[in-house]
Every structure is written in C-alpha cells, then in structure tokens.
Chain A
Amino acid sequence: MSNRMRHQTAGIKPSRSGWASPAALVGAVAVGLLLYFCVLPLALLVKHSFQGGDPFASYRLVASRAANWSALKGTLTVASGAAAIAFLLGVPLGWLVAATDLPGARSWRSLLALPYVVPAYIGAVGWTYLLSDRAGWLNRLLTEGLGAPALPVSIYSLEGIIFIEGVFFSPFVLMAVAEAVERIDPALEEAARVSGAGPVRVWLDVTWPMVRRAALGGALLAFLGTCASYGVPAVLGPSARPPVSVLTTRIKGYIDLHTTGGFRQATALSAVLLLAALAFPLAERTSGSDSRSAGSRPAGRKPVALGRWRTAALAGVGAVFGLTTFLPILALLISSLMENVGRGFSWENLSLVHYWVVLRRPEAGLALRNSFLLAASAATLAVGVGGTLALMQARGGLRWGWVLTPLAWLPYAAPGTVLAIGAILAYTGAWGINLYGTLWMLLAAYAAKYLALAYRMAAAGIEQVHPSMEEAARISGASRLRSILEVLVPMVRGHLVAAWFLVFMPSFGELTMSILLFGPDTPTLGTMLFELQSYEDPSAASVLAVLIVAVILLSNALVRRLSGGRYGI
C-alpha cells in the first residue's frame, strides 16, 4: 500500500481539528455574548455622549448647570469621607481578626465582612428607623429616655450618608488588610523581635509597611464603590437639609425627565462617572483582591498575644459590629414585626401582619418571583459565559486570549448607573431588538455586571487543574468537549457553585441598575422596596429588606458550607 493510499484510508482531517468543533462553537458564542452584553452598552454610551453637530454640546450643557457641579462635589465628598471611614475601621479590624488571638477571630471576620454581601441601601433603610430626626428610636432613647438635651442626630444628612457608605465599604479594607497580614512570612516579624524591636515597633516597622499597599488599595475600592453607589444617597439624600445630591442620583433625575435632552445629559454625566472605572484595575491589584480566590492560607502563623488588651479589643470589635451592622439589621427586623410602629416596643405589638399584608400584594409576589428568576438566570448565564471565557484563556492557546480579562471586567468596574444607561442605549431599538420593560433587559445588565465575579472564580478553579488531567482524557479517547465536561467541570464544580452564588447574591437585592431598567411588569424586590420606602409604607419596606437579607445570608451560609469555608464571608 502506498503512503498516499494509507493516509487516505486513515481519514484526512483538517489541521487544528481541536477547535473546529462543538468546543469552538461554544467559545464563539461566549465571545459574542461578551461583546454584546459587556462591551456594546458602554461603547454606545460613550458614542452617544458625543453625538450631535457639536460633539461636546452635551458636556457643555451639563457643565453649565450649577446643580451638576454640586452633584460632582457631593460625590467626591461622600466618596472621600466614606473611604476614610472604611480605612479607619478596616485597618485595625483587619489586623485584629487576622493576626491576633482575639477570641473568635474567624467568626468576627465573617461578621465584620457582612456588609460586603448586604446591599448598602438596606443598611440605610435600617438606619432611618434608628436615627431619623425625631422619630428615630436611638434619637428618642437619647432625648426622652436618657434625658439628654435635644441633640437629634439625623441620618438624613451628608454625614449620615458618608457614615453608612463608609461602614458598608469597610470590608474591602478589612479583607485586603487581613489577607495581606496573612501573606507576611512570620519569620520577618520574628527577625525584628530578635533584633530588639518591641511589638509596637515591629508593627510600625515591619507589619504596617507590608499591609499599607493593600489597605490603600482597599480604601480606593471603597472610594470608587461609593462614587458608583446609588441606593444610599437616593434613600437619604433628598430629605437631608440641605439636600445631598450626587452624580448617580443626578443621572437618575435626568432620566426621569423622559426627554431626549435629559437623556443626552444623562449620558454625558455617565461618561464622566465612567472615568472612575479607569482607577478600578489599580485598586483591584493593590488591594490584592484580584488574587483573592485560592482558598489555601499559609499555616503556621502564631497569633499576636493581645494580653491585657484582649478584653478591650473584644469589646471594641463587638461595639463596632453592633453599632454598624447588627443594629440597623435588627431595626429592620423589629420594624417589620411591629404591628404599629407608633405604639413602641411591646409583646402585644409584635405580629407578622406586615409580612401577611405585603406578601399578599400581587406586586410583591411578582417582585419576589422576578428577583429570584433574574438572580438565578444571571448567575447561570454568568457562570456559563464566564467559565467558557476563563477556559478559553487558560487552555485555548489563543494569541488574543489576554483581552478577554479586561473586557469581562469592564462592566464590573463601570458604575451600575452607567452600565444601565448603556443597556438602555443598546437594547431599546438598536438592531431591531427592544427589550425595554422586559426581564431580559434586567438579565442582560445583571449578567454583564457580575460576569467578572464568575469569571475570576472559574479561572481560579481551572488554574488549579493541571492540563494533563484533560490530556489524559483525550488520550483515553475523549473528544475535547467531552474531556472538559467529564473531567474539568467535575473537578472545578466547587468553584462553579461558589461563582454561581457570588453572582446570585448581589443580583438578588440589586437596586442601582434595576431602578433605571424596570418596567410596570418587571418590578424587583429592590425597586419595590425603594418605592415603598420613599413614598408609602416603611413597614412594608422593612419586610422586603428582611427577606432580601435573609436570602442573601442563607446563600452565603450555603456557599461556606459547600466550599468548606473557603468562599463566601
């Protein structure tokens, strides 16, 4: 038999058959979705802001309004203040929970990081029960109960907004510091001790210089997060005296005008706000959160003995947790259970009547269903697309694979308000697709926004699997797709489950994008809570808040259980 004959009988296949296959199709679909959902909205937004005869007309118009300048000032003031509070809370707490023999350090770490998963606007709603001008329970306790001279501390104020944002972004600093502390080789500190430095000196000369970068990175994340935040200033800002306005609420105001001119100015303001995304990669890297994922922590670190300060530290940590996190959530729970808020605390006044009333409303059922459906679909979509992209980058051998990461991160870095405006531009009529007022619109925004979280988690999982695992399957006779489905996917299942919940949790209580994208038939828990809070029924709002917090905490507990404590907080 001649050579030619032989290889013809063997079946000639095109080269690169590895990718000319179902696997290649899946990859192409994932990249297509990435471009359509993550890149297109933001690209259209920037383009739209420059439209018209004079490309800078919208910007000029926006710049001519004093209200916009005061909104910018508001954003910068709130963000700087919040970053400072996050830093001041996060650094000592992060060090205490990671480096010392604080009793229950691991549990405190989870508790103090709780605001990481609970939406900040829910905290704001909780605080309104405690510190609204005259009716706030804490204010009444201070004035009536303790007979303090009238000092109504109002949460409806610039300081109130800064305080809540600072508290809710403090976990970014806390986690960055805690992980930086854990990365320090204990020998470095021991060497300083042996060289003659006391514990305080060691902290100042060795420990702090090594966590400073991470702490500042965490504070920068808090700053950017606050710039992008909508819920807290929207709940508290309008009733403050003087009213507090920030860019995100200002953009929402422009959209509410429902005019072309208003929309154009909203896009210009959004493009300005989008600049914040530029600093995001820097913040991620310095805070060390881009490498957060691998579960293994270096062992063998001996905790710093707090000695006689141990009780004081415990009291301090407890007080911070109680005052910042526990109290507002407790206030929500109590107010949701009080039949008549005016009658004060008593056993007779406790009932589930609000739950009954709220959940019987058809709108509430719809919102609950929508939020579950959206969060679950967004999580599934993000894990599917994010997992595929991570796989392509890790295993595809693609020359341009590196661009996938920044593209996937783009929507996460962009403020939610900005992404939502982009989604309106992209999905209401462009290329004949109009999703306005449908759940698809919200799904697209959620999945795009949180894709990066799923992508990072999947990538961390794949990184831990040596390629020879799949190669062994190929040699055994499995096709490329089959080697992925039967070998790789089962091996990274834990990461994929964690990734799913990491998207589910923020999607479930999402407000910032939803408030711009929801329609009459597509309320979510977030939008319904916001409307109840603002306009009609604070008790009903607290019922929804309690529901959201409960589902999120349950999800978090589930992640921790499934991952053996490696993921979740």
Chain B
Amino acid sequence: MSTLELRALGRSYGTHAVVTGFDQKIASGEFVSFLGPSGCGKTTTLRMIAGLDEPTSGEVEIGGRLVSAPARGVFVAPEERRLGMVFQSYALWPHMTVGENVGYPLKLRGVSRQERDAAAARMLELVHLGGLGGRQPHQLSGGQQQRVALARALVMEPEVLLLDEPLSNLDAQLREELRFEIKDLQRRLGVTVVFVTHDQSEAMAMSDRIIVMREGRIRQVGPPAELYDHPADLFVAGFLGLANVLEGVVESSGSESCRVRLSGLAGQPVVDCRGTVATGSRADIVIRPEHFEVAPGETTGLVSGKVTRVTFLGDRVDCRVASGGAELRLALAAGSAPCLGDTLALRARDAVAFAQGPRNG
C-alpha cells in the first residue's frame, strides 16, 4: 500500500485549463474522494493519476515513484503503474468470462492458468460472487458487474485503487449496499483509495477526507464532518448537504462569530453566526434545514413565515416556509409537523456567515 502525491498538477487543452495547481498528498491506506459537479476536473485528475491522461504541468508520484512529470520528461505508461481502477461503465470485457476478466491482469504478468483461476475465484469470493467465474458478464446484474470490476481491480493487490463514479449506474438501494462493501474491503485490505463522485452523500459516507473541486481547482479539503460544519465558502456549503443561503447586514462581530440581521425576511430575524465578518458589511448566511427550530412563545430574533409545503419523509418532515420574499427549507422532527398554512416563528440554532466579496458562489 502506498502514498500518492500530486504536486501542482495541471492539465490544459490549448488555452483551456481543465485542472490547475492540484496539490495534495494522500496517505497510505487513506480513502479520499474527489467531489464536485460535472466538468470540475475530478475525473481528469483521476485519469492523470492512472496515466490515461498526461498532465501538462506538475508531477504525480505513486509510492515514492515519480510516474508523471512533463517538465522532466517523465511519463510511466498506465500498464506500468500497478494500479487498480474501476470505471463508471465497469468496462467488463464481453468476450471473456467473469473469471477471465478477473484473472486478466495476472495473465499479463505471466501467472500460470491454475494460479490465475485460483486467485480469480478467491477475489470473486471476496466480493460475494463465489462460483460465478464461469458466467458471461452480460448474465450478471449491474451490481454484480460492479463487484466483478472491483475484483478485477484488486486481483493483483494494487498500491492504489482508483474508483471513477463506480456507483452512479446503480439503483439507490444497491448503491448504499456497495458503499458499505467497498468501504469494508478497503479497511480489510488497507489499500489507498481515490474515489471520484459527484454525489455528496457517497463522498461523506465513505471518505476519510473529501477534496471538493470546482472549475479545475481544489476548493476545500478535509474530513466530511469538517466540510459540512465548516465550509470554506458558499459553494462548498451548498454542495455538501442542503443549505438555505440568505443575505444580511452584520450588526456586531467578534472573533470567529458575529450577529447578523437577515434581509428580505419577515419578523425580526437576527441570528448569531460563526465566521468573521466586519461590522456593518453585508454577508451571505448559510443555515442548514435541520438547524431551524420552531420556537413558540418567543418574539425577538425570530423569523416568521407561513408553511407552503409539507412533505412527510418518514424520519423527518421537509417543510417550505415563505417569509418575506424568500422561501426557507426546514427539516423538522417527524413528531412536530406543522400544518399547511400555519404561521411559524423560527430560530436558527446554527448559521455560518461569509463576507460578501467578489461573488464566489
């Protein structure tokens, strides 16, 4: 197992930069996700690690071995990087059986047929597909195909496992199941994993650290909880989890906290926020739906609004509340569901303020 180091990695096509200055060290055995909307450069970065795409600047080092460094004329072909990779489309070869698919990396390394078959069988067992080695890939379900792709990627015990949106073609239930399985496999084998996804819940559920990307650049890096609680900017706040983004004027500020009067809302909406913003300036305020609470009886510092939609989701209730010109989204405990048309007084338990500068959201 091994570390992965990306130094000022960049990829551009002509004048169009797809990835810029990607700098990150990934520890041995770590599970790291590249998270971002489509076109943010996450897949390109993954492909540069794999050697399927060549960087135009920067360096890639896998396990202390320099594999890409255009400035120094270094480029190690993908087949010599000893990686495992699972593709979004699974890329199972239809002209080989499941067992042959899994055994192919070993075949390329001159492993005898007997050993290959044994290893393939062992890997299939590991991904809960024992005994299916003789099947054709098209005879398997999507989830099973995904497991075969995983077995193939792991069969030669790679230093680093690359996963390119491997769950996006599966249905919700299967996705959840495979999340857990991949995570479990990774823990058991101790392999370093880079996981590319645009699904924030996948990234949060599986990763030790998440690298949020946008327009070819890293926006924030950290463990899931840290990104959720302390987003570096509005984009990260909005991309990880749901967020109400509001505007307000800072009434007072201290170190790491401030008090903001929200504009455009009914009531007397003053909230205490985390974040350092100068008094008197305008700020963007992020409030998570679950941080609103209904506060009957109180009068000051409350947002008042009318319930316009109530959606029962089992464990909780998703409410829309119209207040002033804005619509707020609330996640309330299932027991305390308001009725359509109720007028609510709301308090925010937690909020984060961002200085309004040149717009970054």
Chain A positions near chain B (C-beta within 8 angstroms)? 1, 3, 6-7, 10-18, 466, 468-469, 471-480, 482, 487, 490-491, 493
Contacts and interface: CB of A to CB of B under 8 A. Distances in A.
B15 to A, nearest CB: 15
Contacts of A477: 79-80, 82, 105, 108-109, 156
B78 A12 contact: no
Pick the most buried of A3, A14, A15: most chain B CB atoms within 10 A of its CB: A15
B73 A468 contact: no
A16 B149 CA distance: 28
B235 interface: no
Contacts of B76: 10-11, 13
Contact of B105 (A10, A466, A476): A476
B109 to A, nearest CB: 6
B75 A16 contact: yes
Contacts of B87: 468, 471-472
Contact of B91 (A14, A18, A466): A466
Interface string B36-75: 0000000000000011101000000000111101101111
Q: Does more than half of chain B's interface fall in helix, strand or loop, or is it mixed?
A: mixed
A18 B47 CA distance: 15
B152 interface: yes
Given A6-B64, A7-B66, A10-B65, A476 B74 contact: no
A11 B80 CA distance: 11
B89 interface: yes
Contacts of B104: 473, 476, 478
Contacts of A466: 89, 91
Interface string B188-221: 0000000000000000000000000000000000
B88 interface: yes
Given A475-B84, A479-B77, A491-B94, A7 B105 contact: no
B69 A7 contact: yes
Nearest to A3: B66
B56 to A, nearest CB: 10
Contacts of A491: 93-95
A482 B69 contact: no
Interface of B: 50-52, 54, 64-67, 69-70, 72-85, 87-89, 91, 93-95, 104-105, 108-109, 149, 152-153, 156, 162
Contacts of A490: 93, 95
Contacts, number: 100
Contact of A471 (B67, B75, B91, B153): B91
Nearest to A479: B79
B72 A12 contact: yes
Contacts of A476: 79, 104-105, 108, 152, 156
A11 B105 CA distance: 22
Given A466-B89, A468-B89, A475-B50, A13 B74 contact: yes
Given A13-B74, A475-B78, 9 more contacts: A6-B66, A469-B91, A471-B50, A472-B91, A475-B85, A477-B80, A477-B109, A478-B104, A479-B77
Contacts of B66: 3, 6-7, 10
Q: Which 3 A-B pairs have the closest CB atoms?
A: A7-B66, A476-B105, A472-B91
Contact of A474 (B78, B88, B93, B95): B78
A448 B186 CA distance: 55
A15 B76 CA distance: 8
Contacts of B73: 12-15
18 contacts: A10-B66, A12-B72, A13-B74, A14-B75, A15-B73, A17-B77, A18-B77, A468-B88, A468-B91, A469-B91, A471-B85, A475-B52, A475-B84, A475-B153, A476-B79, A477-B80, A477-B109, A491-B95
A479 B109 CA distance: 12
Contact of B75 (A3, A15, A480): A15
A15 B70 contact: yes
Nearest to B55: A15
Most buried by B among A6, A7, A13, A480: A7
A482 B93 CA distance: 14
A86 B153 CA distance: 56
B46 to A, nearest CB: 11
Contacts of A475: 50, 52, 78-79, 81, 83-85, 153, 162
Nearest to B69: A7
B54 A6 contact: no
Nearest to A488: B93
Nearest to A11: B76
A491 B149 CA distance: 18
Nearest to A7: B66
Contacts of B85: 471-472, 475
Nearest to B84: A475
A84 B263 CA distance: 76
B204 to A, nearest CB: 26
A335 to B, nearest CB: 48
Contacts of B84: 475
Given A7-B65, A475-B84, A477-B105, A17 B93 contact: no
Contacts of B109: 477
B87 to A, nearest CB: 4
A490 B93 CA distance: 9
Given A466-B91, A468-B87, A487-B93, A474 B52 contact: yes
A471 B51 CA distance: 10
A547 B188 CA distance: 68
B194 to A, nearest CB: 13
A11 B69 CA distance: 12
Nearest to B47: A471
Nearest to B78: A474
A71 to B, nearest CB: 52
B339 to A, nearest CB: 44
A390 to B, nearest CB: 19
A12 B65 CA distance: 11
